[in-house]
Chains A and B, each alone.
Chain A
Amino acid sequence: MAKNSSNSISNYVKRKKRERTLALLALILIAVVWVVGAKRAAADLMPTIRQAIPDADHITKDNGVIYIAWADPEEKNILGYVALGEASGYGGKLVLAVGVDQTGKIVGSAVASSKETPAWINRVLDSDLLKNINGKKYTEAFNIGEDLDGVTGATYSSVAVAKAALHGSRQVARYLGLPVENQPPPKIKFGLPEVVLILLFTIGYIGHQRGFKYKKQIRWSSLIIGMVVLGFIYNSPITIAYITKMLLGYFPPWQTNLYWYFLIGGILFVFTVDNKNPYCDWFCPFGAAQECMGLIGGAKPRKPRLFHQWLKWLQRILALIAILLGIYFRSPGLASYELFGTLFSLYGSSLQFIALGLVLIASMFIKRPWCSFLCPVSPVVDFIRIMREWILELWKKTIIKKTVKTN
Chain B
Amino acid sequence: MEKNNNKKNGKNKLIDWFLLVFVLVVSGLLVAQVYLNVIEILH
Chain A residues within CB distance 8 Å of chain B: 118, 122, 302, 304-307, 310-311, 314, 318, 321-322, 325, 329, 331, 334-335, 337, 339, 349, 351-352, 354-355, 358-359, 362, 366, 369, 373-374
Contacts and interface: CB of A to CB of B under 8 A. Distances in A.
A299 to B, nearest CB: 12
B17 to A, nearest CB: 8
Residue from the set B13, B17, B22 with the largest chain A CB neighbour count within 10 Å: B22
B24 to A, nearest CB: 8
B20 A329 contact: no
Given A118-B41, A334-B34, A373 B29 contact: no
Interface of B: 12-13, 15-17, 19-20, 22-23, 25-27, 29-34, 36-38, 40-41
A339 B26 CA distance: 11
Nearest to B33: A351
A349 B19 contact: no
A33 to B, nearest CB: 14
Given A351-B29, A355-B26, A374-B27, A118 B15 contact: no
The 3 closest A-B pairs by CB, nearest first: A304-B16, A337-B30, A355-B29
Contacts of B25: 358
B18 to A, nearest CB: 9
Contacts of A304: 15-16, 19-20
Contact of A358 (B16, B22, B36): B22
Residue from the set B13, B25, B29, B40 with the largest chain A CB neighbour count within 10 Å: B29
A314 B30 CA distance: 13
Binding site secondary structure of chain B: helix
B32 A314 contact: no
A329 B29 contact: no
Contacts of A355: 26, 29-30, 33
A21 to B, nearest CB: 25
27 contacts: A118-B40, A122-B40, A302-B15, A302-B19, A304-B16, A304-B19, A305-B16, A306-B16, A306-B17, A306-B20, A307-B16, A307-B19, A321-B34, A334-B37, A334-B41, A335-B34, A335-B37, A339-B30, A349-B33, A351-B30, A352-B33, A354-B29, A355-B26, A358-B25, A358-B26, A369-B22, A373-B23
Contacts of B33: 337, 349, 351-352, 355
Contacts of B29: 351-352, 354-355, 358
A307 B12 CA distance: 12
Residue from the set B16, B25, B30, B38 with the largest chain A CB neighbour count within 10 Å: B30
A321 B27 CA distance: 12
Nearest to B20: A307
A318 B27 contact: yes
B15 A329 contact: no
